[in-house]
């Protein structure tokens, strides 16, 4: 794992010195963060969100502002203390107990759990990390599908790419054996999207 030092440029934007690449919008990082939160859709109903990529943390700050109840876990290849972000952002992150961590969750964990959000303008590390996540996501999905009784779907995804894991409730209805527990669950859920 490689650690990189980051610094501010003249416009107080967090940049990487080696590549000179900005970690957020150079013109208006706050607006960029706001637009990203808007793009995430309504998150009120979720208790927890995992975010891939810390960047300059403007988007984390914006997310927390809109959804103060949301427990955030930010995932990145480098720990936050290595990020020389603006002091106030650092304080904000500490105060709001935003957790940063490297990859250590198990495969099934996040299929069951929180909503997963990707930071825009992803850093190279984030992209690599996202790739890694996709592989884990696929494994997690296959395990969970098998555990819930959707063996047909589990096999299909195991032998295919991650995109094959995108199933909706109607597809689940088709593969359920009648009068099984999964059949009852799927039909009850179907009533919620009618």
Q: Does 193 help bind another protein (rule: CB under 8 A)?
A: yes
Which residues partner with 9 through β-bridges? none
With CB under 8 A as the rule, give the number of residues binding another protein. Answer: 38
Nearest CB to another protein, comparing residues 91 and 184: 184
Tokens of 189: 């859920």
Phi, psi of 90 (to 5 degrees): -60, -45
* Residue span binding another protein (CB under 8 A) among the ranges 15-23, 62-70, 88-96, 142-150: 142-150
Return phi, psi of residue 54, to 5°.
Answer: -95, -35
- Residue 163 binds to another protein (criterion: CB under 8 A): no
Tokens read off for 83: 């990020």
Query: Counting contacts by CB under 8 A, is residue 36 touching another protein?
Result: no
Binds another protein (CB under 8 A): choice among 115, 130, 158, 175: 115
Selected binder of another protein within 12, 65, 91, 181 (CB under 8 A) = 181
What is the helix (H) or strand (E) element at residue 131, kind and residue range? helix 124-148
Q: b/e per residue, 173-183, with b = 16+ CB within 10 A? A: eebbeeeeeeb
162 binds another protein per the rule CB under 8 A: no
Q: Does 187 contact another protein by CB under 8 A?
A: yes
CB of 151 to another protein, least distance (A): 13
Sole binder of another protein in the list 53, 111, 123, 138 (CB under 8 A): 111
17 and 7 in contact (C-beta within 8 Å)? Answer: yes
Between the CA atoms of 38, 96, 117 and 157, what dihedral angle is there, to the nearest 10 degrees? -150
Q: Is 188 in the site for another protein (CB under 8 A)?
A: yes
Do 183 and 176 contact (CB within 8 A), yes or no? yes
User: Under the criterion CB under 8 A, does residue 148 sit at the interface with another protein?
Assistant: yes
* Of the candidate residues 18, 44, 68, 131, the single one contacting another protein (CB under 8 A): 44
Burial of 7 (0-12, 13-18, 19+ CB in 10 A): exposed
Give contact residues for another protein (rule: CB under 8 A).
41-42, 44-46, 111-113, 115-117, 141, 144-145, 148, 150, 165-169, 172, 178-179, 181-194
């Amino acid at each position: 794992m490689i650690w990189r030092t980051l610094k501010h440029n003249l416009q107080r934007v967090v940049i990487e010195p080696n590549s000179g690449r900005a970690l957020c919008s150079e013109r208006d990082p706050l607006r960029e963060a706001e637009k990203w939160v808007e793009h995430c859709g309504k998150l009120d109903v979720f208790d927890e969100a995992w975010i891939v990529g810390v960047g300059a943390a403007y988007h984390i700050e914006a997310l927390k502002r809109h959804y103060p109840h949301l427990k955030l876990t930010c995932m990145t290849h480098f720990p936050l203390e290595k990020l020389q972000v603006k002091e106030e952002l650092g304080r904000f992150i500490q105060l709001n107990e935003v957790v940063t961590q490297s990859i250590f969750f198990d495969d099934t964990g996040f299929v069951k759990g929180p909503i997963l959000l990707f930071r825009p303008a992803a850093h190279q590390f984030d992209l690599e990390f996202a790739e890694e996540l996709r592989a884990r996501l696929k494994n997690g999905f296959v395990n969970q599908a098998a555990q819930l009784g959707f063996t047909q779907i589990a096999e299909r995804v195991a032998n295919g790419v991650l995109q094959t894991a995108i199933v909706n409730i109607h597809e689940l209805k088709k593969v359920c054996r009648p009068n099984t527990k999964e059949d009852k669950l799927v039909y009850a859920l179907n009533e919620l999207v009618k």
